[in-house]
Amino acid sequence: MRRYLIIAAILAIFVVGFIFLRGPIPHIAIAAEELTTVGGVKITNTMVTSWVIVVLIILSLAFIMTRTWTIVPGGVQNFVEAVVEAFYNLVTGIAGEENGRRFFPVVASIFFFVLIANWMSLTPIFNAIGFVGHEEPVEQQLEEHGYVEGIIMDRTKIGPIDLHYIPFSGLGNLRISSDDSTIELDEPESPDKYQEAIEDDKFVGELIPLFRGINTDLNTPLAIAIASAIAVEWWGISSLGLFAYGKKFINFSGPIDFFVGILELISELVRLVSFTFRLFGNMFAGEVVILMFTFLTPLLITLPFYGLELFVGVIQAFIFASLTLVFGVMAVTSHDHDDEHAESHKAESIEESVHEAIAEPTG
| 26-56 per-position pLDDT tens digit | 778 888 988 888 888 899 999 999 988 888 8
Q: Is the pLDDT of residue 264 over 50?
A: yes
Q: Classify residue 63: in a domain, yes or no.
A: yes
- Residue 218 counted as domain residue: yes
Tell me whether residue 363 is in a domain: no
Give the up-direction half-sphere exposure of residue 265: CA atoms within 13 A in the CB hemisphere: 12
Cα gap 114→108, rounded to integer Å: 10
Residues 120 and 134 in one domain: no
Same domain, 200 and 228: no
Q: Of the residues 183, 209, 235, which one is the last residue of a structural domain? A: 209
Looking at the fold, whether 86 and 134 belong to one and the same domain comes out as: no
Domain that holds residue 118: 34-124+213-357
Same domain for 137 and 284, yes or no, is no
Do residues 255 and 321 both lie within one domain? Answer: yes
Same domain, 338 and 311: yes
14 lies in the same domain as 44: no
Kindly state whether residues 298 and 149 are assigned to the same domain.
Answer: no
pLDDT tens column, 180-189 = 778 888 888 8
> Does residue 273 surpass a pLDDT of 80?
yes
pLDDT-derived band at 11 (thresholds 50, 70, 90) equals confident
Same domain, 97 and 135: no
Say if 362 falls within a structural domain. Answer: no
Residue at a domain's end among 209, 232, 247: 209
184, 209, 234 — which closes off a domain? 209
Residues 11 and 53 in one domain: no
DSSP state of 359: -
In a domain, 49, yes or no: yes
**Both 225 and 317 in a single domain?**
yes
Residues 233 and 118 in one domain: yes
Per-residue confidence band for 337, with pLDDT thresholds at 50, 70 and 90: very low
115, 317 in Cβ contact below 8 A?
A: yes
How large is the average pLDDT for residues 56-84?
80
What pLDDT, on the 0 to 100 scale, is given for residue 61? 81
Number of domains in the chain: 2
